[in-house]
Amino acid sequence: YYVQSLYSSLHCGRTLSKSYIEDTTELTFSTLKNIAHIRINTVRGLYRLKERAFADLLNLHTIDIRNQIWLVIIDSGAFQNLPKLEHLNIVNTGISTFPDLHLVRSSSLRFSLEFMDNPKLLVIPPNAFTGLCDHALNLKITSNGLQEIMARAFNGSKLKNLNLELGQDHCRRYLAYSP
C-alpha cells in the first residue's frame, strides 16, 4: 500500500511527503521512466535507500531528499545511470557514511551536489566524487558533522565551485585543505 501511494504521488508530479515507507527496493522508481524530479520530504520510517533504488532514470533532472532524519543507510550503487541528473540534494538526514556516487554518471553540463545538515556525516572519503559527472561539478557541503576530509577526496572530479562551510570548531583544519 505504501509503495503504491508513493507511485501515485510521484506519477502526479507531487512531492513524496509525510508518507511512510521503511526502505526502497532495487529499481524502486524504475516504472517512473519519464519523471524529471523526485522530491522525498519527511517520509517517516524511510531508513534505507537500497542498491539501484534510483537506477536507469534517463530523464531525471533532480533528486531532492530532505528532512529524512530516519534515513541512515544509502547503499553503494543506490544512484546509477542517471545521465541527465543536474541536482542531487541530500539535506537533513541521519546518514553517517558518505554515499557511493561513482555510478551516477551524469553528463549534465551544470551538475550540482548539495550535502547540508547531516550531523552524523563525519568523513568525506578518498575519490568521493569520481564518476559522479562528466563535466564541471558545483559542490555545496554545509552544516554537516564533518571531522575529516580525507586526502584525495576530490580526486577524479572536475570541481568548478566548492562551498564548504563548517562550524567554528573545524574552520582552521579545513581552511588549510587543498585537493
Contact 19, 9 (CB under 8 A): yes
* Residue 134: half-sphere exposure toward Cβ, Cα within 13 Å: 10
Task: Report the number of distinct structural domains present in the chain.
Answer: 1
> Cα(169)–Cα(167) distance, rounded to whole angstroms?
5
Phi and psi, residue 119, nearest 5°: -65, -20
- The pLDDT score that the predictor gives to residue 172 is 43
- The pLDDT score that the predictor gives to residue 99 is 95
pTM score, two decimals? 0.82
Q: Which domain holds residue 152?
A: 2-175
Q: Return the closest-CA partner of residue 118 out of 62, 160, 72, 61.
A: 72
**Tens-binned pLDDT, residue by residue, of the chain (179 aa):** 344 445 444 544 444 444 445 555 555 677 777 888 888 888 877 889 989 989 999 999 999 999 999 999 999 999 999 999 999 999 999 999 999 999 999 999 989 999 999 999 999 999 999 999 999 999 999 989 888 889 999 998 999 999 988 655 554 444 333 44
Here the CATH number for the domain that contains residue 13 is 3.80.10.10
